Structure 1
Amino acid sequence: MSEDLYDPRFVKAVFDRCSDRYIAFSYICSMGFTERWRRQCVALMPAPAVAAPSGYDFMAGTGEVWPHLLKRFPDLGAITAVDISSGMHRRALERLHAMRAHKIAFIEDDLLASDLASESADFVVATFGLKTFNPEQHGRLAKLTARVLKPGGVFSMVEASDPKGWWLRPVYRLHLLVVLPLIERLFLRGAQDFAMIGTYSSKFGDASGLAEMMRAEGLEVTYHRLFFGCATAVTGRKR
C-alpha cells in the first residue's frame, strides 16, 4: 500500500467513508467488546479534582463514550469532542437527540494540529483513536495531553491491541486481519475501509509505548491490559 496510513488526509477519508455503518460494524464484529472497553475506560479514569468537570474527547468518532461519561459524572460540565472526520461528526450529531446536547461541543480538526488552549481541561478521554497515530504522533499526543490538562486533571485512553503471550492470539489476529475484511467484502461491498481498522490495530501493538511517552511529559501514568491484552489502556493524572 503506497499511501501513508497515518497521514491525516488518509485517515479522514477512511473514516468519512465508513462513518454511516461504523457503530453497527464495530459493535457486531467486536462481539460487543468495544462497548465494554469504552465503559472500562471511563471507569478506570481517576476522579477529577472538581465536582463538575469539563474536558475533551480526543478522536471522538461518533460519540459512543459520552453516555458512559454522563453516567459516571451526572454533573459533568461539558465535553468538547475533537475529530478529523466530518462523517463521524455528522453521525455524532444525529445521536445527540438522545444525549444532553447542551453539554457537548464539536471541533472538526486534525487533533495534533489543533489550537486547544493550555490548561483548559479537567479530563481527557480517547477511545479507539490511538491506532490511527504512528509513534511520532503518539509523542505529540502525549505533549498535547500534558499541555491541555489543568493541574490535577485526569486522562484515560483505550485501544484495541495485539494480545502477545495469549494462547488465543492467533485466533484473535485471524478475526482481525481475515474475518473482518471478508465480512466487509461479502456483506458491505465497501472500499475495504473497515478492513483498515484491523490493519491499524495490528500495526498499533499496544499502549505501553504511549504510557512511557506520557511519563516523559511528567504525567502520572498507569498501564492496563484488558481481556488478556486484546485492549490496552493508559490512565493517570497531571501533577
Structure 2
Amino acid sequence: MLSTTRLGVTRALRGQFGRSHAARSFAQSAYQCQGLNEGQQHDRTTHFGFETVAEAEKEGRVRDVFSSVAASYDRMNDLMSLGIHRLWKGNFVRSLNPGRADSEKGWNILDIAGGTGDIAFRMLDHATNINQDMNTRVTISDINPDMLEEGRKRSLQTPYGNTDRLSFLQGNAESLPTVESNSVDLYTVAFGIRNFTDKDAALREAFRVLKPGGVFACLEFSHVNSAVFNAVYKRWSFGAIPLIGQLVAGDRDSYQYLVESIEQFPTQEAFKDMIQNAGFLTPGQGYENLSMGIASIHKGVKPV
C-alpha cells in the first residue's frame, strides 16, 4: 500500500528512483509518438475484443457499447462480479486517501471514464467524512454522453450534485485540451482504460495534466495468478456474463465485448512498463492484485 498522502507517496519514491530515468522514458515515448506519420496512424489497427479493427473505427464502436449499457451499467457490475467490485472500489479509494483537511484548496481530482460517478462519489465521501475536507473537488470525464448523463442524474441523489465540488467533462482521455498542464493532484481511471484506443497516448496525457508529485491511479480487470482459479474465472466470464447481459440488459454482444476486452488487456507487468514509459515513477511492485489478480490497482507518481 502507498502512503496515505500524495506528498508522502512522492517523498517515499524520490529516494528509490532518479529523475533522469523518468525524464528519459517520457522523452523516448514522445519521440516514438512523433515518429508516426499520418499514413502510419491511418493504417494502425487495434483490438476490439477479439476482433482486429482500424484504430479510427474502435472509438465509435466502444461509444456504441457504452451507450447501450449506460442505464444498466452499475447493476450489471454487481451481477458480473457478485458485488465484489464494491470492495475493490472501496480498497482503491482508501488507498488514495483523497482530501486534505489542512488546506483551503483541497485536491483537484480528475476521474477519467468515470461516467456514472461511482468512483467520484466515493472519493468525495472519503474526503468529506474521513478527512473533513469540504474543498476537494472531482471532475468526471467520459467520452460517452450517455454515461455522463447517468452520472449527472445520480449526482442529484448525493450532497455533491449541482455544487462546485463536482463537474462533468465530455472528452477523449487521449487528448484533453481543456485540462491545463500541471493542474491535477490525482488522476483516476477505474475499469475504463482497457477500452481506450491508444493507451500510451492516454498515459502521456495523464502525465501532462498532473502536477509534479501528482498521482496516477488505475483500477482495472487484470490477469489471474492461479492456473486453477483462472480456469474457473474464464468459464464464468465467457459463459455467464454474456448470458446475464442478454437476460438483464437485453444486450449479449456488448457484454461479450467487455469480457473479451479484459482478456486482451496487458498483464500487470506489461501495464506497469507502459506507466513507467509515460514518465511515471512506480512504487514497490508497481501494482496491487485484488482477488488473486482478477483486478489490479496500478499507481504512478509524476516526478517533482
TM-score with structure 2 setting the length: 0.72
| 2:62 equivalent to 1:11 | yes
- Match 1:44 to one of 95, 100, 121: 95
Moved more, 180-189 or 119-128: 180-189
- 1-side partners of 2:243 and 2:109: how far apart? 38
Distance 1:187 1:234, change over 3 A: closer
- Whether contact under 8 Å (1:3, 1:10) holds in the other structure is no
Give unmatched runs, 5+ long, in structure 1.
none
Distance 1:47 1:26, change over 3 A: closer
- Match 1:105 to one of 167, 170, 173: 167
Residue in 2 that maps onto 1:226 = 290
Residue in 2 that maps onto 1:198 = 259
Residue in 1 that maps onto 2:188 = 125
| 2:157 equivalent to 1:157 | no
| 2:141 equivalent to 1:82 | yes
Question: What is the Cα deviation at residue 212 of structure 1?
Answer: 1.4
Distance 1:236 1:46, change over 3 A: farther
* Residue identity opposite 1:16 in structure 2: S
| 2:77 equivalent to 1:26 | yes
Distance 1:215 1:172, change over 3 A: same
Question: What is the Cα deviation at residue 235 of structure 1?
Answer: 1.4
Distance 1:186 1:46, change over 3 A: closer
Residue in 1 that maps onto 2:209 = 148
Question: What is the Cα deviation at residue 113 of structure 1?
Answer: 2.8
* Residue identity opposite 1:62 in structure 2: T
- 2-side partners of 1:156 and 1:90: how far apart? 24
Residue in 1 that maps onto 2:229 = 168
SS where residue 114 of structure 2 aligns?
Answer: coil
Question: What is the Cα deviation at residue 53 of structure 1?
Answer: 0.3
Question: What is the Cα deviation at residue 163 of structure 1?
Answer: 0.5
Say how many residue pairs are matched: 237
- Whether contact under 8 Å (1:142, 1:214) holds in the other structure is yes
- 2-side partners of 1:141 and 1:208: how far apart? 18
TM-score with structure 1 setting the length: 0.90
Question: What is the Cα deviation at residue 132 of structure 1?
Answer: 0.6
In angstroms, what is the RMSD of aligned CA positions? Answer: 2.2
Distance 1:87 1:113, change over 3 A: same
- 1-side partners of 2:99 and 2:270: how far apart? 25
Max radius of gyration: which structure? 2
- Whether contact under 8 Å (2:109, 2:184) holds in the other structure is yes
Question: What is the Cα deviation at residue 162 of structure 1?
Answer: 2.2
Which whole-Å deviations, capped at 9, do the CAs of 1:177-227 have from their partners, x for residues lacking one? 121112223443325212221111111143432321222233221211111
Distance 1:47 1:154, change over 3 A: farther
- 2-side partners of 1:188 and 1:46: how far apart? 34
SS where residue 139 of structure 2 aligns?
Answer: strand
- Whether contact under 8 Å (1:46, 1:154) holds in the other structure is no
- Whether contact under 8 Å (1:159, 1:207) holds in the other structure is no
* Residue identity opposite 1:106 in structure 2: F
Distance 1:47 1:73, change over 3 A: closer
- 1-side partners of 2:74 and 2:195: how far apart? 17
Question: What is the Cα deviation at residue 122 of structure 1?
Answer: 0.7
- 1-side partners of 2:267 and 2:90: how far apart? 19
Question: What is the Cα deviation at residue 24 of structure 1?
Answer: 0.4
- Match 1:96 to one of 152, 155, 180: 155
- 1-side partners of 2:99 and 2:151: how far apart? 25
SS where residue 228 of structure 1 aligns?
Answer: helix
- 2-side partners of 1:129 and 1:180: how far apart? 18
